[in-house]
Amino acid sequence: MTPLRRRAAPALTAAVCLVAAAPAPAADPRPPAVQAPQAFLLEASTGDVLFRRQAERPRPVASATKLMTALVVLERVSLQDTFTASGYRPQPIESKLGLEPGERMKVRDLLRALLLASANDAAHTLAQGTAGTVEAFVALMNDRARSLGLAQTRFTNPIGLDHPGNHSSAADLVRLTLRLRRRPFFARTVDLGRVRLGSGVRPREVVNRNDLVRAEPVVDGVKTGHTELAGYVLVGSATRDGVSVISAVLGDPSEAARDADTLALLRYGLSRFRSVRVVRPERVLRTAPVQYRPEERVGLVPARAVTRVLRVGERPSVSTDVPDQLEGPLPAGAPVGTLVVRLRGRVTARVALVTAARVPEVGLFERTVDQLRKPATLAALALVASLVLLLLLRRRRRPAGGRSMETETA
């Protein structure tokens, strides 16, 4: 098969193939009023920052520390592993599961107690079971913080107790949560209102201390915290129609203020974005003629759908690169071109353009007819005809027998 000549098609306007997945709610352009001295809000898929207030300033973060505890455990041990309770003795005011010394519990249940009930004895048991000692585990926490680029984060314990040097920032906690949300177990767990633990010496039910998960359908996480130095802390997340936002508020004066600030940030973030089906695979975007059959054209469709989270009012550009002609035989679904999606000047997707129908094989007769139709062929034929006619005329002017006049006279 001869190579197909290609040309870059002009960029299609976004309106040609953009179809919103759902009507976007009216976006409030004004950032919400929050009480928290430190706050941060980010859209998860684009990384767009929507709100920040002293977001890089380090401060105690209480049990939000347990987010890093969970990440280190999830990256180093199996959920099916069983750990033995370490005999941690919490203070009366501490959150705890009530593990008995020597009690054995699955890692998955210890993590559920850690993330939902914020159980300090579960955190201590997970640290010892993962690294051998709490000190070794804390070293792993700090190594992971450095590798993730969390410049304002340092840990001295896996629980979040008010120890000098145990601190993070609103922005760091949101970035840490982004990493954790890649773990399906974590994402499912922090979205639970309550869960029953099946391992241990007796069945237990733990309730999510994040009241917003139970009260607000769009809220799907993540972690609360409170100590005297940290104030009230909440790392929150919400998802609606394919858009996910993550927030953090640190140092709020009360649970009510913490929840109100978080809900205001999450609602604001969701109102600023929409999930859009940019490319639909069943839609014919271009057509290309069949070689030797200029009157016949075959539709070209994207090989797959492309969905992107966009700011309200934002439209990407879509361009195509397709061949001048299609030479058969080609089956339906054969890749013959490329579609490129650009957002804010950056390529965000490349998708093959494939034939929507079969491209037939063209026979010798049709190839010959097509060649005869071309101007160059017609010009050559006209030239040949002219030469033949000229030769015929010259022959007719010569006398019969081909003898010269002098011979006849003699």
For residue 401, the 8-state DSSP code is G
Q: At what angle do helices 107-116 and 120-131 cross, to 10 degrees?
A: 140
pLDDT score of 335: 95
Q: Do 232 and 212 meet the contact criterion of CB atoms below 8 Å apart?
A: no
pLDDT in tens, 211-267: 999 999 999 999 999 999 999 999 999 999 999 999 999 999 999 999 999 999 999
pLDDT score of 4: 47
pLDDT score of 26: 52
For residue 9, the 8-state DSSP code is P
Q: Which residues of the chain have pLDDT under 70?
A: 1-28, 362-374, 376-378, 380-381, 398-410
pLDDT score of 398: 67
Give the span between the Cα atoms of 251 and 255, in whole angstroms: 10
pLDDT score of 40: 98
pLDDT score of 407: 46
The residue to which tokens 């009012």 are assigned? 313
pLDDT score of 90: 81
pLDDT score of 259: 98
pTM metric for this prediction: 0.80
Instruction: Indicate the length of the chain as a whole number.
Output: 410
- Cα Rg, the chain, nearest whole Å: 36
